[in-house]
Structure 1
Amino acid sequence: MKIRTLIVDDEPHAIQIIELYAANVPEIEITGSCANAIKAYQVLQTTPIDLIFLDVKMPGLSGTDLLRSLKTPPMVVLTTAYPEHAMEGFELDVVDYLLKPIPLPRFLRAVDKILFNFKGTKPAPAAESRREGQKQHYLYLRVERQYVKVNTRDILWIESVKDYLKVITPGEVFISKQKISLAEKLLPSGLFLRIHRSFIVPLDKVERMHPNHVVVQGHQLPVGRNYKQSCIRQFLPDTVALDQSC
């Protein structure tokens, strides 16, 4: 059974991060988002919702004021950039409290609490393995008005261009409006490497290494000065010092 979820936050970027994180959790279904508590209250009167990711500080009605106004509130995870609101949140019996910027591992721990509250049992090992496997093999990208599921094993490289992300695969180039730092968090650790402020490569796709670039599928991708040492550690672990190589 899906957990019908509403995101309430006045910051579009904060909504996008939760949507991207939640796309990696098959049990959570994002049914919508609201930029203020008044709109959220109206949605809750007409739409069945099981879970709210609720920002605390918003113009007009605050998140905690909205929560107090609900006779039978759904599960609530509070989100905020202000840690001093934590005690108030737990007094309102929320499931969890996430401090912005929200790291993906912390979000997934909150998901475990959500599943425990929703199902009344801890996630089964098989379910945890399934979720971990999905996190390892798929990246969800927001392309225009939809989310596209990209197999990470198909990715040749990822490139940041201004405010957009280009994900290059053999058959298609996906363009998504998100930060490369967020993609770096969502990618499986140990399989991808940031080689430049604007480039991430899958380790198994790197064909050759040169002083200032690597080669993937015949394409030269630059290695940034600040990333050379991590390249050396990854590709040449037995090398003590290579001043100008990666």
Structure 2
Amino acid sequence: MNSNKMYTCVIVDDEFHARELLKNHLGVLPSLRLLAVFDNSIEALSYLMGKDVDLLFVDIQIPIMLGTDLVKSLVHPPKVIFTTAHKDYAFDGFELNAVDFLLKPISLDRFLKAVQKALSMDMLGQVSQPVEPNKDSPFVIIRADRMNHKIPLTSILYVECLKDYLKIYTDDKCLMTKMPLGSFLQLLPKKDFIRVHRSYLVSKKKIEAYNSYHINIGKEEIPVGPNYRELLFSELGSRIG
């Protein structure tokens, strides 16, 4: 996730107090920009068909067209967080791959958790298709924040796996993309990178200290998995702890 990126949002809800509450919650996060607020699905549909929106907060039970039908009508829907006063609608929302489902009245804490989940998914929801370099290529290209990022191999510190997503830490930034860790490792030269845990791979050149339990890269302490210790020491040298 790019902490400097501004994420655009739209609210669709026929209840005045619900709209005002969401607007107040949105105001807490400077990275969220509210583009428009609608009290019906038809006006919202017309607006959404012509705008590039990152995150949609939509009530399921709204006049004329249900919120779920509104989302189904969009060819390229944004990330969706459904809101409703009726718990029974939750299943319909998750069938549409909604980021989250918020039951009214929506607390700020629950709202923030839903937004963080959406932002952690990088506002993309698609598996990154990296450009596979040739053996001599000094970089990889990954998709993050709706852009293709060219990452020099020499700048990569380590990579952390979070379920279906990767956080790629470099000398000057952190990028998040959707890709299996094993697939990303295959793009890297084996002489320079090593997997040290089921959730981590590191640059050998960036390792400052290591033992059987962790690796130090700068101020970061990377865990070493039991199944990866022998590989680590065979690649880097004799045991030191």
Select the structure of larger CA radius of gyration.
Answer: 2
Q: TM-score, normalised by structure 1?
A: 0.48
Point out the structure with the larger helix share.
Answer: 1
